[in-house]
Amino acid sequence: MWNEGCVLLMGCSAPFSLKAFLQMCNLPVRVVCRANAEYMSPSGKVPFIHVGNQVVSELGPIVQFVKAKGHSLSDGLDEVQKAEMKAYMELVNNMLLTAELYLQWCDDVTVEEITHPRYGSPYPWPLNRILAYQKQWEIRRKMKAIGWAGKSLEQVLEDVDQCCQALSQRLGTQPYFFNKQPTELDALVFGHLFTILTTQLTTDELSEKVKNYGNLTAFCRRIEQQYFEGHDKDNSGTAAPRSAKRSLLR
Amino acid sequence: MAAPMELFCWAGGWGLPSVDPDCLAVLTYARFTGAPLKVHRVSSPWRSPSGRLPALKTRDEGTISKTQQIITHLRKQKYNADYDLSATQGADTLAFVSLLEEKLLPVLIHTFWVDAKNYVEHTRKWYAETIPFPLNFFLPNCMHKQHVERLQLMWGDGYMEDEEKLEKELYRDARECLTLLSQRLGSQKFFFGDSPASLDAFVFSRLAPLLKAKLPNGKLQQHLKSLQNLCNYCTSILSLYFPWDGGEMHPQPHTAPLGCPPQKKKKKHHETQHWCLAALCSPQVTSPPVPRGLGVPRVATQRRTPTSGATSCCRCWWGWQPCWATPS
pLDDT per residue over A164-189, tens digit each? 999 999 998 888 888 778 888 998 89
CB contact B101 to A (< 8 Å)? yes
Dihedral of CA B221/B19/B3/B46: which sign? Answer: positive
- Chain A closest-CA separation from residue B257 CA (Å): 31
Is B298 a member of any domain?
A: no
| Angle at CA of residue A122, ends A121 and A124, nearest 5° | 85
Instruction: Let me know if residue B247 belongs to a domain.
Output: no
Do the domain assignments include residue B139? yes
Q: Tens of pLDDT along A29-42?
A: 766 666 666 666 66
B64 shares a domain with B194: no
Q: What is the 3-state secondary structure (H, E, C) of B162-177?
A: CHHHHHHHHHHHHHHH
Query: Could you tell me if B165 and B205 lie in one domain?
Result: yes
CB nearest B88 (choices: A90, A145, A170): A170
Instruction: Count the helices and strands in chain B (H runs, E runs).
Output: 14, 4
Residue B310 has pLDDT above 50, yes or no: no
Least confident of B19-33, B116-130, B272-286: B272-286
What pLDDT is recorded for position B175? 92
Same domain for B54 and B189? no
Say how far apart CA A168 and CA A177 lie, in whole Å.
9
What is the distance between the alpha carbons of residues A224 and A193, in angstroms, rounded to a whole number?
11
The reply to whether B264 touches chain A by the CB within 8 Å rule is no
Question: Which of chain A's residues have a Cβ under 8 Å away from the Cβ of B99?
Answer: 86-87, 90-91
User: Which of chain A's residues have a Cβ under 8 Å away from the Cβ of B176?
Assistant: 86
On whether residue B268 sits in a domain, the answer given is: no
Among B92, B154, B177, the residue with its CB nearest the CB of A145 is B154
Same domain, B54 and B107: no
Q: Which residues contact B207 (CB under 8 A, 6 or more apart)?
A: B178, B181, B224, B230, B233, B234
Domain assignment of residue B164, given as a range = 89-241
Residue of A90, A142, A151, A215 to mutate when probing chain B, most B C-beta within 10 A? A90
- Looking at per-residue pLDDT, the higher value among A46 and B2 belongs to A46
Q: Which of B212, B241, B270 is the last residue of a domain?
A: B241
Q: Are residues B97 and B48 in the same domain?
A: no
The CA-based dihedral angle spanning residues B63, B68, B73, B78, taken in that order and rounded to the nearest 10 degrees: 150
User: Could you give phi then psi for residue B81, rounded to 5 degrees?
Assistant: -80, -10
- Do B118 and B231 lie in one domain? The reply is yes
- Cβ of residue B98 closer than 8 Å to a chain A Cβ: yes
Whether B147 and B215 map to the same domain: the answer is: yes
Q: Are B94 and B229 in a shared domain?
A: yes
CA separation, residue A241 to residues A3, A20, A236, A237, A238 (Å)? 9, 20, 9, 10, 9
Note whether B102 contacts A: Cβ–Cβ < 8 A.
yes
CA-based nearest residue in chain B for residue A137:
B153
Total domains in chain B come to 2
Which pLDDT score, from 0 to 100, does residue A237 have?
A: 41
CA separation for the pair A56, A60 (Å, rounded): 10
- Radius of gyration of the CA atoms of chain A, in A: 18
Confidence band for A230, pLDDT divided at 50, 70 and 90: low
Per-residue pLDDT, B234: 93
Residue B174 located in a structural domain: yes
Rounded mean pLDDT, B277-298: 41
Tell me whether residue B45 is in a domain: yes
d(CA B226, CA A235): 50
Residues B172, B63 within the same domain:
no
pLDDT at A66 over 80: no
Cβ of residue B162 closer than 8 Å to a chain A Cβ: no
User: Has residue B296 been placed in a domain?
Assistant: no
Q: Which of A79, A82, A162 sits opposite B94 (nearest CB)?
A: A162
Bridge pairing between strands B55-57 and B5-10 = antiparallel
| pLDDT above 80 for B180 | yes
Q: List the CATH number of the domain containing B46.
A: 3.40.30.10
Residues B234 and B128 grouped into a single domain: yes
The answer on B136 and B41 residing in a single domain is: no
Tens of pLDDT, residue by residue over B72-84, are: 899 988 889 888 8
Domain edge (last residue) among B241, B267, B302: B241
Q: Residue A81's closest chain B neighbor by CA?
A: B184
Q: Is residue B110 part of a domain?
A: yes
Task: Identify the CATH number of the domain in which residue B211 sits.
Answer: 1.20.1050.10
Q: Which residues of A touch B88 (CB under 8 A)?
A: 169-170, 172
pLDDT digits (tens, 9 = 90+) for A183-218: 889 988 988 888 888 877 777 788 888 888 999 999
Residue of chain A minimizing CA distance to B176: A83
Q: Which of B241, B261, B286 is the last residue of a domain?
A: B241
Q: What is the complex's ipTM, to 2 decimals?
A: 0.81
What gap in Å lies between CA B133 and CA B302, rounded to an integer?
20
Q: What is the pLDDT of residues A78-104, one digit of tens each?
A: 888 888 888 999 999 888 888 888 888
Q: Which of A114-123, A220-229, B12-21, B106-115 has the lowest mean pLDDT?
A: A114-123
Query: Which residue from A82, A145, A166 is facing B91, i.e. has the nearest CB?
Result: A166
**A vs B: CB pairs below 8 A:** 69
On whether both B154 and B33 belong to a single domain, the answer is no
Give pLDDT tens digits for B223-259: 999 999 999 999 999 999 988 754 444 444 444 443 3
